[in-house]
Amino acid sequence: MSRLCRFLAVCLVALTAVSCDALSHETWGVIITGYYRVGDYYNVDGKEGVVFEVSADGRHGKIVSLKRSSERLLWSSNYDEQNRFIGAADENDGSKNMAKVMQIPGWRDKYSAFAWCASLGEGWYLPAKEELLSIYRVKNKLNNNTLADKGEKIGDDWYWSSTEYDYQYSSGEFCAWGVGVGDGYTSYNSKYYYGYVRAVSAF
């Protein structure tokens, strides 16, 4: 093979690799293979969101819902449930807290914030405190990309997390953590307190 032919062959291989990498990421806003970065639009089998955490290889991570709840919701809307600690205390994985809530008979009627997340479909859950903080840390990337075009931007609102706090007010209610996504400030409030909700899901 002549030197020119070898050179052209090498160029063709390199060009093909670059083209495939570009196509494997995103074309006209549609993910083709499953390689993601923070801020990317995720749409697989009808589940839509924006990536806020991703593994080193770009194949796994977490998405946040395109929109928040239209109104502020109670962490728990049932008096008896507000007045007990249920053990949904995981600070890093809200799906574990969601599993605790789902074991409670009639939970959809008793846990408003959790029910809203579940209404989005299988795999959606109310994020734990640290997951909300992760969303806060990359909020600008989320707002400047997918959410600006396809959803509702994350503002400066206070959001419920799924993480309980083992403190009981004199009135009887136990507490849960929330995060102000405007400044990253965390605070706990009575489960009877109203807050906005966004759901997350792993992929």
Q: Indicate whether 151 pLDDT > 60.
A: yes
The answer to whether residues 173 and 192 touch, using CB atoms and an 8 Å cutoff, is: yes
Torsion of CA 165, 167, 168, 170, to 10 degrees: -140
For 157, phi and psi rounded to 5 degrees?
Answer: -75, 165
Which token pair is 112? 């408003």
pTM exceeds 0.75 for this model: yes
Which token pair is 85? 């600690």
Q: What is the largest CA-CA distance in the chain?
A: 87
Q: Write the pLDDT tens digit of every residue in 17-62.
A: 433 333 334 433 444 457 999 999 999 999 999 999 999 999 999 9
Q: Indicate whether 11 pLDDT > 50.
A: no
Mean pLDDT of 57-84: 97
Q: What is the pLDDT of residue 146?
A: 87
Q: DSSP letter for 91, please.
A: S
Element (H, E) at 100: helix 94-102
Class of domain 69-139+148-196: alpha beta
Q: Indicate whether 137 pLDDT > 60.
A: yes
Which token pair is 176? 């849960």
